Chain A
Amino acid sequence: GESVGLHLPTLSVQEGDNSIINCAYSNSASDYFIWYKQESGKGPQFIIDIRSNMDKRQGQRVTVLLNKTVKHLSLQIAATQPGDSAVYFCAENIGRRALTFGSGTRLQVQP
């Protein structure tokens, strides 16, 4: 579920490396998941989504993996670039009216 009160964990990677950001969700009935990227001072932007009938989906340089057995979602970013530095949030569909957001992970890309 939502963990609004926590400070954000940080993942630091070298430019060119692959990044993996993880997210655990709590509701086994969730059937739709989204990854968002939020740059400082801006609203979250859609990156990629996945439905629960899939376990993998690929986009441009990004891949989302869904493991329903352990209720785990991950976002993989290939060849991470400085422009990828941001806070990344996962979100799950609960109740079909609202998404529930994870607490977020800050990605820092070192040149």
Chain B
Amino acid sequence: SQTIHQWPATLVQPVGSPLSLECTVEGTSNPNLYWYRQAAGRGLQLLFYSVGIGQISSEVPQNLSASRPQDRQFILSSKKLLLSDSGFYLCAWWQGLGDTQYFGPGTRLTVL
């Protein structure tokens, strides 16, 4: 069966510090991978998606970036965090139309 992992689970970082969040998927190959952000009490905002290694599409302009160095690994990064980057970051994978998009457990990021 397929599983999706995210780490760390929680993170507290100062403004201006770098960020690296990791997402890995097991039990599937060549999935579409996604990064979402969710502010407290709000909906999901799609940040990036990737349909293959090295292929990244950005949905919103921001100081975050994403990379996909391996088929089942998706990384969210920032060189300098802003206060507004605080939120709940969710990774998801999807095999395509008709199959459900599955979410990881999330990383709660607090920028102070």
Report A's interface with B, CB cutoff 8 A.
2-8, 31-32, 34, 36, 41-46, 49, 51, 89, 91, 93, 96-104
Knowing A42-B106, A43-B104, A45-B103, say if A96 contacts B97 (CB, 8 Å).
Answer: yes
Name which of B38-46, B67-75, B76-84 contacts chain A.
Answer: B38-46
Which are the 9 A-B pairs with shortest beta-carbon distances? A43-B103, A103-B43, A4-B45, A101-B44, A46-B100, A44-B103, A43-B106, A4-B43, A104-B43
Report B's interface with A, CB cutoff 8 A.
32, 34, 39, 41-46, 49, 51, 57, 59, 88, 90, 92, 94, 96-98, 100-106, 108
B46 touches A2 (CB 8 A): yes
A7 to B: closest C-beta gap in Å: 6
Query: Which chain A positions have C-beta within 8 A of B49?
Result: 97-98
A-B contact pairs, 14 of them (CB 8 A): A7-B42, A8-B43, A34-B100, A41-B88, A43-B90, A43-B104, A43-B106, A46-B100, A89-B43, A97-B57, A98-B34, A98-B46, A99-B94, A99-B101
Cα-based distance from A6 to B108 in the complex (angstroms): 20
Cα-based distance from A2 to B44 in the complex (angstroms): 8
B41 touches A8 (CB 8 A): yes
B28 to A: closest C-beta gap in Å: 15
B44 touches A89 (CB 8 A): yes
Query: Which chain B positions have C-beta within 8 A of A32?
Result: 97-98
Query: Which chain B positions have C-beta within 8 A of A99?
Result: 94, 101
A8 touches B42 (CB 8 A): yes
Given contacts A8-B43, A42-B106, 16 further A-B contacts (CB under 8 A): A2-B44, A4-B39, A4-B45, A6-B43, A41-B108, A43-B92, A43-B104, A44-B90, A51-B98, A89-B44, A96-B97, A97-B32, A98-B49, A98-B59, A101-B44, A104-B42
